[in-house]
């Protein structure tokens, strides 16, 4: 049984009970980790209320707003972590966004603004968080992000997000190389398609059906299976694993065609 007793984990990207980040938070909590969770602030406070109610059973020590386009919010989050905890053992990066039209339009029609937005939120945000997290992390700490096979294969309807995820995976390798000097591990989990809020921007139902037909196990992956893989990467069972993209997709990535 994996135990994270005494560990402090920051989980970003929880939007609702279908978020992969939510399943990850549940598994980290069940393993004994103390949690900090974030929500995306909006004028009406919709996400704050939903995420607060959802995560209440996990008793997060820190509950903070985080729009990764806002440096003040990033700084404020880590100032709070430093003040309340003094250290951080686990960082979970589950953040991605692109304008709907940039996902569905021809790739050659993507505008500079849309491309930059997708890269900023989906890829640079990992660097921005690691810049603040790394000074709080000791040897043995772990950073995990989420990616998708659209980074290396053309997937219909994924558009600009494929480019953003490719950048995110490159970030994972370069951060792993640099932070490895402090014995901090950095990895990515490449999950198969799951019905999440973020996935609603693409034709997720068709993607899931195609994946089930083409995967080695002939089914789609579940949120909890992705969370279990993430838990493994945060544990002492994976101390020699860094800079890797771990596919959790029922074998879809190994199949031809």
In a domain, 2, yes or no: no
In a domain, 253, yes or no: no
d(CA 161, CA 118): 7
39 tagged catalytic: no
The CATH number that applies at residue 44 is 3.40.50.720
Give helix 159-179 / helix 112-119 axis angle, nearest 10°: 40
In a domain, 82, yes or no: yes
Q: pLDDT for 64-108, tens place per residue?
A: 999 999 999 999 999 999 999 999 999 999 999 999 999 989 999
Residue 218 backbone phi and psi in degrees, to 5: 60, 40
Q: pLDDT for 149-204, tens place per residue?
A: 999 999 988 999 999 999 999 999 999 999 999 999 999 999 998 865 555 545 56
Global pTM reads: 0.95
In a domain, 254, yes or no: no
Residues β-bridged to residue 39: 65
In a domain, 224, yes or no: yes
Beta strand extents in 112-227 (DSSP E only): 142-147, 185-191
Task: Please return the burial class of 173, using the count of CB atoms within 10 Å of its CB with bins 0-12, 13-18 and 19+.
Answer: middle
158 tagged catalytic: yes
Which residue in 39, 148, 174, 247 is the catalytic one?
148
- Per the structure, the complete domain to which residue 93 belongs is given by 8-248
Name the domain count of the chain. Answer: 1
In a domain, 177, yes or no: yes
In a domain, 54, yes or no: yes
Task: Please return the burial class of 251, using the count of CB atoms within 10 Å of its CB with bins 0-12, 13-18 and 19+.
Answer: middle
pLDDT given for residue 257 in this prediction: 58
In a domain, 257, yes or no: no
């Amino acid at each position: 049984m994996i135990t994270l007793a005494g560990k402090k984990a920051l989980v970003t990207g929880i939007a609702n009970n279908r978020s992969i980040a939510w399943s990850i938070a549940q598994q980290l909590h069940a393993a004994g980790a103390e949690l900090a969770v974030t929500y995306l602030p909006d004028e009406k406070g919709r996400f704050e209320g939903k995420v607060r109610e959802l995560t209440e059973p996990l008793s997060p020590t820190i509950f903070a707003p985080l729009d990764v386009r806002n440096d003040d919010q990033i700084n404020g989050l880590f100032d709070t972590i430093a003040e309340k905890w003094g250290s951080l053992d686990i960082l979970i990066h589950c953040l991605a966004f692109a304008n709907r039209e940039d996902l569905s339009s021809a790739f050659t029609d993507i505008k500079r603004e849309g491309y930059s937005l997708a890269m900023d939120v989906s890829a640079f945000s990992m660097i921005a968080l690691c810049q603040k997290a790394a000074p709080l992390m000791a040897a043995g700490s772990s950073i995990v992000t989420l990616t998708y096979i659209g980074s290396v294969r053309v997937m219909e309807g994924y558009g600009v997000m494929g480019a953003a995820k490719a950048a995110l995976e490159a970030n994972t390798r370069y951060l792993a190389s640099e932070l490895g000097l402090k014995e901090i591990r950095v990895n990515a989990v490449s999950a198969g398609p799951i019905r999440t809020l973020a996935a609603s921007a693409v034709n997720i139902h068709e993607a899931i059906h195609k994946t089930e037909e083409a995967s080695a196990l002939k089914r789609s992956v579940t949120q909890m299976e992705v969370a279990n893989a993430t838990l493994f990467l945060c544990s002492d069972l994976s101390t020699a694993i860094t800079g890797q993209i771990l596919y959790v997709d029922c074998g879809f990535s190994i199949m031809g065609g």
